[in-house]
Homo-oligomer: A and B are copies of this chain.
Amino acid sequence: MDKAELQAFMESHFPQVAEDFRIEKLDVGEITVRLHVSEKNLRPGGTVSGPSMFSLADVSIYLAILAMIGPQALAVTTNCAIDFMRKPEAGADLIGTARILKLGRALAVGDVLIRSDGNPQPVARAGLTYSIPPKSG
């Protein structure tokens, strides 16, 4: 799947969240995704909430996997380990850069680095595992 197909897939399958995310760049096994930060993502002081960062990490890996295996709405996260390292900048979008490290028959593993737009220092880092359902006939 290419950028347009992935974005369309997300809009049809995850209408609740699709408008929050935009795919910036897509290569084989790598993806860059923007989280449009809005009021609902914020915590006191203007910082972006932990669940929003988790969400960006999760969506980035999911889309990078789909780009490689095609539309599999049923791929599910089985594990995520996330380090929160710095406070995201108030008012800036978040940029997640993800790479797939293993794409197996049943499991896929990737990691994500998250930055505030315009600032090179990472605010969070996550490793995720997805379970890929067996292909039905």
* Size bracket of the A interface: 35 or more
Residues A101 and B85 in contact, CB atoms below 8 Å apart: yes
A78 within 8 Å of B (CB atoms): yes
- Bits for A97-108, please: 1 = Cβ < 8 Å to B, else 0: 000011000110
Q: How many copies does the complex hold?
A: 4
Closest to A108 in B: B85
Residues B44 and A51 in contact, CB atoms below 8 Å apart: no
Q: How far is the CA of A51 from the CA of B79 in the complex (A)?
A: 12
Residues A111 and B109 in contact, CB atoms below 8 Å apart: no
Please, which residues of chain B bring their CB within 8 A of the CB of A84? Answer: 76-80
4 shortest interchain CB distances as A-B pairs: A81-B81, A85-B102, A51-B55, A51-B51
